[in-house]
Chain A
């Protein structure tokens, strides 16, 4: 029987949702954190979208949010020139890391010992979370605001995307740039898949896939609208794209065929979306403040979705 996708809408934010991140799979399930221009990032249960708590303390729009693998710590990057580290179990603020300008991106290493930050002051910073009073290591080189900074290659390297239309790969020990990728248009999103070392970069109306170690291009896919963000399924069967035409697209990774398209059930363009650790659902955040969870296998019983058998 043909099934139509029913996304689960999570309300709570009052302003655009600009970043989303999932944790790894923990004994208590997995979790989702959302960064929002209302300055109040929220933690949700990953498979149901149920709200768990709100991290209170930032005094400006929160541009980036991330969870560590075990979902015990959260980090946020905000327009109040700070990045904050939080206890993701109690919701308490653990650290405030002052910066010289708007912070856009935060990322934990696998062992949660270091935090990478990047923002409008064009400098990548590495904080040792066990020595928060110590000065961070700084990596300069970008000539304009950093949008996204990620650890990669077992935390031995760093990937950064900036408004200067480049993506750079840095070596963590030497703090030197290893390779630079120039683009014609501003990079709108960047995602790193550790398994298989794939990098997903979106710019203009294109989604490009790169080998994360060599930065060699694997393939590009053109989509009908300007891309806000793109995310690849962990098993690399398909990827989802959020466009500024108010639609969420799902494409087959091998054939580049468009599989599914979600029409605008909401007013505003998709800002960001992420796929979940077990690949069963993906999440999108929107300018209207809502988050939506979408099924990978439409009709399957999972989380709050219920499989309906013929005759039921």
Chain B
């Protein structure tokens, strides 16, 4: 009888020890993280110009011109700003106007321009005239466009 009790106690003690290990294995603490990685912001393609890396490396990444000195760089940058502003204004004046698009694969279509996305990769148009009929709303991929033209309303000039 004594031995039975003894072995029961032993077995119980052994089981407790084992279960402790089992619990410890199952209940491993997950490593804490400060936060989750940030994802895309959904409104732009990123590459923040105000980041330290961009500020430091950007002057060497203006691809169109050869390495030039500081003065030439400033005047080139000024010229770029003027051209950019002019282009953006041309887009604004194009809103709700008929535009003729000449695209790759000998495609020529007419549509009413609505808007552009921030990176000038897509144009939102209405009443796109296609061989299949008039598409009420459509997106035109800018890289597919060779040229486009529209009439400026001379009475507003």
Interface residues of A (CB under 8 A from B): 1-6, 8-12, 28, 42-44, 48-57, 59, 72, 87, 89-92, 94, 293, 295, 298-299, 304-306, 308
When the two chains form their complex, are residues A50 and B121 in contact, meaning their CB atoms are under 8 A apart? Answer: no
Contact across chains for A306 and B61 when beta carbons are under 8 A apart? no
B28 close to A304 (CB less than 8 A): no
Query: Interface readout for B16-28 with A: 1 if CB under 8 Å, 0 if not?
Result: 0000000011001
Q: Which residues of A contact B106 (CB under 8 A)?
A: none
Closest to B55 in A: A89
Neighbour of A54 across the interface among B24, B37, B40, B58, CB < 8 A: B40
Closest 10 A/B residue pairs (Cβ): A53-B46, A49-B37, A91-B47, A53-B47, A4-B28, A28-B53, A6-B31, A50-B38, A2-B28, A10-B37
Question: Closest CB of chain A to B51's CB: distance in Å?
Answer: 8
B33 contacts which of A1, A56, A87, A306 (Cβ < 8 Å)? A306
CB distance from A53 to the nearest CB of B (A): 3
A89 touches B39 (CB 8 A): no
With contacts A50-B38, A298-B31 known, what are 6 further pairs, Cβ within 8 A?
A: A1-B29, A6-B33, A9-B36, A48-B37, A54-B45, A299-B31
Contact B40 A89 (CB under 8 A): no
Is B156 in the interface zone, CB < 8 Å from A? no
Q: Please tell me if B35 contacts chain A, counting CB pairs below 8 Å.
A: yes
A28/B52 contact (C-beta < 8 A), A3-B30, A4-B29, A305-B33 known: yes
Q: Which residue of B lies closest to A94 (CB)?
A: B63
Q: How far is the CA of A56 from the CA of B36 in the complex (A)?
A: 25
B48 to chain A, nearest CB (A): 8
User: How far in angstroms is the closest Cβ of chain B from A190?
Assistant: 28
Which residues of A lie under 8 Å from residue B56 when comparing CB positions?
28
**Chain B residues, Cβ within 8 Å of A298:** 31
Chain B residues lying within 8 Å of A299, measured Cβ to Cβ, are 31
Whether a CB of chain A sits under 8 angstroms from the CB of B132 is no
| Given A3-B29, A4-B31, A6-B32, A92 and B37 contact (CB-CB distance below 8 Å) | no
- B-to-A contact residues, CB < 8 Å: 24-25, 28-41, 45-49, 51-54, 56-58, 61, 63, 119, 121, 141, 143
A35 CA / B42 CA spacing, docked (Å): 18
Residues in A with CB closer than 8 Å to B61 are 72, 87, 89-90, 92
Q: Which of A6, A10, A54, A304 contacts B46 (CB 8 A)?
A: A54
User: Is A10 in contact with B39, judged by CB distance below 8 angstroms?
Assistant: yes
A-B contact pairs, 7 of them (CB 8 A): A6-B32, A8-B36, A10-B37, A12-B40, A51-B38, A91-B45, A305-B34
Q: How long is the Cα–Cα vector from A147 to B54 in the complex, in angstroms?
A: 33
- Among the listed A43, A57, A305, which residue makes an inter-chain contact with B31, where contact means beta carbons less than 8 Å apart? A305
B33 touches A50 (CB 8 A): no
Provide the residues of chain A in CB contact with B32, threshold 8 Å. Answer: 6, 305-306, 308
> Could you tell me if B46 and A52 are in contact, using CB atoms closer than 8 angstroms?
yes
Interface contact B45-A3, CB-CB below 8 Å: no
Nearest chain B CB to A73 CB, angstrom units: 10
B33 near A304 (CB under 8 angstroms)? yes
* Bound form: Cα–Cα A90–B61 in Å: 8
Contacts of A12 in B (CB 8 A): 39-40
Report the bound CA distance from A43 to B37 in whole Å: 13
Q: Is the CB of B24 within 8 A of A2?
A: yes
A90 and B37 contacting across the interface, CB-CB below 8 Å: no
CB-CB < 8 A to B24: which residues of A?
2
Docked complex Cα distance between A57 and B29 (Å) = 44
Q: Are B31 and A42 in contact (CB under 8 A)?
A: no
